[in-house]
């Protein structure tokens, strides 16, 4: 009886917390061939508000969730979006099972140059960045500048693990990487955006996919 009750409770929990992604409040559409879908901090005068995407529940399959998010955003022609999380008394984002994402078409979404971000998904890891050890908890990421005077690199410290050397270049778009747990490898996404390069236990992420992860990952200081 206890086993049966536990199974039913588990099933109900899965139904309640399973992630759902809905398009709502679609006021306009914008026909375009722009494959980008970037998170922006603010909209400019060229931005057109299009719709809202509501995300409910726990993020489980990141690639599948991004695919759904991307396809729904492209139904209205969005290439940019904003999300403003609730903050605690110290000004830190508060995790939420409900997110409202505002979709826009913006002629020139702002991008960053000469910086890199490293995302960690499932388990705590230690990596080396420019000779310094950095601890990353699950579902966290960090962002750091690529400076011309520094020997910029990322290493996973593992035997036969990855080491990526990063070089400063004028107007080089930001770079995004994810640490893979042992035994897991990435599949290429069949839509624009996603996991695109495999290099040992570090993979390169396309910006649209990386921006999506920032909705669920907590940013940490490189000094942590």
Contact indicator for 175, 204 with CB cutoff of 8 Å = yes
pLDDT digits (tens, 9 = 90+) for 31-88: 999 999 999 998 999 899 999 999 999 888 999 999 999 999 999 999 999 998 887 8
CB burial of 207-222 (b: ≥16 within 10 Å; e: otherwise) equals bbbbbbbbbbbeebee
C-alpha to C-alpha distance for 88 and 94, rounded to whole angstroms: 6
C-alpha to C-alpha distance for 65 and 88, rounded to whole angstroms: 27
> By three-state DSSP, how is residue 195 classified?
strand
Residues 192 and 171 reside in one and the same domain: yes
Sheet with 125-129: strands ordered across? 132-136, 125-129, 152-155, 163-166
Residues 132 and 214 reside in one and the same domain: yes
| pLDDT mean across residues, the chain | 84
Residues 67 and 158 reside in one and the same domain: no
Residues with Cβ within 8 Å of 60's Cβ and at least 6 positions away in sequence, in order, are 18, 19
Which range (140-144, 172-176, 179-183, 196-200) has the least confidence?
196-200
Residues 177 and 123 reside in one and the same domain: yes
Q: Span 200-206, mean pLDDT?
A: 85
Residues 90 and 156 reside in one and the same domain: no
Which of these three, 72, 105, 138, is where a domain ends?
105
* Residue 147 pLDDT exceeds 70: yes
pTM (2 decimals)? Answer: 0.82
Q: How many domains does the chain have?
A: 2
Which of these three, 73, 105, 137, is where a domain ends?
105
pLDDT digits (tens, 9 = 90+) for 72-83: 999 999 999 999
pLDDT digits (tens, 9 = 90+) for 94-115: 888 899 999 999 998 888 999 9
Show the domain range for 148.
115-219
* Rg for the chain, CA atoms, rounded: 19
* Residue 187 pLDDT exceeds 80: no
């Amino acid at each position: 009886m206890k086993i049966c009750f536990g199974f039913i409770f588990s099933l109900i929990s899965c139904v309640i917390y399973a992630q759902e992604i809905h398009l709502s409040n679609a006021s306009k559409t914008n026909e375009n061939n722009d494959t980008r879908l970037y998170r922006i901090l603010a909209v400019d005068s060229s931005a057109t508000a299009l719709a809202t995407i509501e995300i409910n529940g726990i993020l489980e399959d990141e690639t599948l969730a991004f695919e759904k998010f991307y396809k729904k955003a492209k139904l209205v022609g969005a290439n940019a979006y904003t999300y403003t999380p609730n903050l605690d008394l110290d000004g830190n984002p508060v995790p939420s099972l409900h997110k409202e994402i505002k979709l826009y078409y913006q002629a020139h979404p702002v991008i960053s140059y000469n910086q890199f971000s490293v995302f960690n998904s499932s388990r705590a890891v230690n990596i080396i960045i420019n000779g310094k050890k950095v601890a990353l908890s699950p579902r966290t990421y960090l962002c750091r500048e690529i400076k011309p005077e520094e020997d910029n690199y990322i290493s996973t410290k593992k035997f036969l693990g990855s080491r990526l050397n990063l070089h400063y270049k004028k107007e080089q778009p930001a770079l995004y990487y994810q640490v893979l747990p042992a035994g897991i490898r990435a599949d290429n996404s069949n839509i624009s955006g996603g996991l695109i390069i495999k290099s040992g236990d570090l993979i390169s992420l396309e910006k649209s996919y990386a921006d999506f992860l920032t909705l669920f990952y907590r940013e940490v200081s490189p000094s942590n």
